[in-house]
Structures are given as structure tokens and as C-alpha cells.
Amino acid sequence: MTGFKDGTLAITYKRSMIRQIPNVFTLLNLFFGCLAIIATVQTGLTIGVDSNGQQIVEIPERIYLASIFIGIAAVIDFLDGFVARLLKVPSEIGKQLDSLADVVSFGVAPGMIVYQFLRLSFAQQENGLDIAMFWLLPAFIVPCAGAYRLARFNIDMEQSYGFKGVPIPAAGLFIASFPLIYWFSFEKSLWILPVLTSKWFWYGLVIFISYLMVSKLPMMALKFKKKEIDEINILKIKDDFSGKKITLKTTNLTGNFKLLMPFIIIAIVSLISAIFLGWLAVPIGFIAYVILSLVFKQHTSKQQ
């Protein structure tokens, strides 16, 4: 009897540990989101003098580390759901924990990036370093919009096959691309520097990305259900020799191609943009994602 109880406890403990594996991935997402915030805050602004003796204000190159950390968090964010489905251990606590981590990694951290770029934009003006914080606060509309979007998603049972509004990881990656663009792309496209040091660009971006998150516009899910990919048509034909009916299974190639077509287009657009425009491929791919979502108008709930 003791051995039986010990065996049962061991199995229960093992199952409990397995259920925590996806949560570990989610906490890693949160961990890298925190690192992104630190990388953004510690960079600050650097004041120097150019060759003509003019004072210049620059955002340190280290801010690109925040972009990298957010990118790593996005990979982990994808993996936690994948691992949960693979191990067949989805849980309500995992869902809530995932949302909390996403608010930090793809809301607060990108908001801090916007905050620093707004500081840089105002620093280009005379006495810009003394600007009142009020003018920098719009940066935090981004995490607020992201938090609202996640709260709505958690109680909405109709977003299994698509999204209402842009998902916060996509919005976070969109914003996280700008430090990389600023430091590693503007030499190829000199028009980028004035744009990224314009406060009006950042105010417009905050309104744009926040609206996309809180809106109910139909957006494609960046994942597929197994049933969608493995959709099968059952065909029954009559054998001319035996007179018996034979059941054939054939993959619906036309339906699957239509399902994959927008993602193929996004991949092609992003690849071409990456070759010629470097990190500008990220916002271009994001815009393509939004436009194609609206064009194809994927339903957010399962079709009956």
C-alpha cells in the first residue's frame, strides 16, 4: 500500500512539474521585458560637440539592446503557447500570466522606447532638455492601450481564429524596430534621421498603434489551428469492379493556399525590404500585415 501511494504521489508531482513548464517560458518573457526596460532607461541621452563646435544631443547606441530583448521575449511568447499545447497542459493561470508578461514586454518596454525618442526629439530644440514631462507622457498611452486590448482578449471567446485589433506583441515589435532603424539603417536612407527625431512622428505613431490595438478591426492570427492546416475533404466513389464505395482523403490544397497566401505575401514583402532597406523591413512587414488583414477580413471566430 505504501509503495502504491508513493507511486501515485510521484506521478502527481511529475504532472504538476510538467504543468509549470509553459509558465517558466512565460516568466522568461517577462524577464526579458524587464531587461528591455533597463536597457532603455540606462541609456539616457548623451550631450556632445560636433566638428563645428555645435552642441549635439544623441541617444546612445546601447538602446538597441532593448530591441533585442523585446525580440527574444517575442520568440519566448510564441514558444510558451506552443509548449502548452504540445504538453497538453493549457491552464487559466498560464493565460493570465501570459497577459501580464505581455503588458511589460510589449507594452511598457516599447513605451519607454517612445519616451526616450520623444526626449531626443525635444532635445533638438533650443532648451529642449528642460521640456516639461507633460509632453513626454503620451508615450505611456501605448502600454495602457495594450493592457486594455489584452483584458478584452481574455474575456472574448470569439478570437480563436483571428484577432480583434492588432495583438500587442506585433505592436511591441513594431516599436522595438525603431532603435535598430535609427542606428543601423539611416546611413542608407538619410531621410530617416529627421523623421525619427520629430516629436510629431512619435505623437502620430502613439495614436496610430494605440488605435490599432484597441480597435475591433479584424486581424489575422499569426498562428494556425491544426484543423485549418490539415483540412481534409472526404470523397466517396464507387469502385467499377467490386461495386463497393471507396473513401478517399484528399487535402484541400486550394483552401490551404488561400489561407496561407497573405502570410506568403508578408514574407516576400519583408524579405525584399530586408535586402534593400535593412531594419525598415519590420515596420513595412507590420503595415503589410495590417493591410492584408483588412483586405482578407479573416473572421475572428470559427466558421460554422
**pLDDT tens, residue by residue, 22-67:** 888 899 999 999 999 999 988 666 666 556 656 666 666 678 899 9
Q: Check whether 214 has a pLDDT greater than 80.
A: yes
Residue 10: pLDDT band with limits 50, 70, 90 = low
What pLDDT sits at residue 14?
A: 60
The better pLDDT of the pair 177, 132 is held by 177
Ranking 72-86, 154-168, 284-298 by mean pLDDT, the lowest is 154-168
Q: Check whether 174 has a pLDDT greater than 90.
A: yes
Domain that holds residue 96: 2-217
Residue 215: pLDDT band with limits 50, 70, 90 = very high
Q: Is residue 191 part of a domain?
A: yes
What pLDDT sits at residue 28?
A: 94
| Average pLDDT over all residues of the chain | 79
Q: Is residue 293 part of a domain?
A: no
Q: Check whether 191 has a pLDDT greater than 70.
A: yes
What pLDDT sits at residue 47?
A: 63
What pLDDT sits at residue 45?
A: 65
Q: Is residue 123 part of a domain?
A: yes
Q: Is residue 18 part of a domain?
A: yes
Domains identified in the chain, total number: 1
Q: Is residue 264 part of a domain?
A: no
**SS3 annotation, the chain:** CHHHHHHHHHHHHHHHHHHHHHHHHHHHHHHHHHHHHHHHHHHCCEEEECCCCCEEEECCHHHHHHHHHHHHHHHHHHHHHHHHHHHCCCCHHHHHHHHHHHHHHHHHHHHHHHHHHHHHHHHCCCCHHHCCHHHCHHHHHHHHHHHHHHHHHHHCCCCCCEEECCCHHHHHHHHHHHHHHHHHCCCCCCCHHHHHCCHHHHHHHHHHHHHHHHCCCEEECCCCCHHHHCCEEEEEEECCCCCCEEEEEEECHHHHHHHHHHHHHHHHHHHHHHHHHHHHHHHHHHHHHHHHHHHHCCCCCCCC
Q: CATH number, domain at 25?
A: 1.20.120
Residue 71: pLDDT band with limits 50, 70, 90 = very high
Q: Is residue 108 part of a domain?
A: yes
- Per cent of the chain over pLDDT 70 is 70
Q: Is residue 283 part of a domain?
A: no
pTM of the model: 0.80
Q: Is residue 223 part of a domain?
A: no
Q: Check whether 1 has a pLDDT greater than 60.
A: no
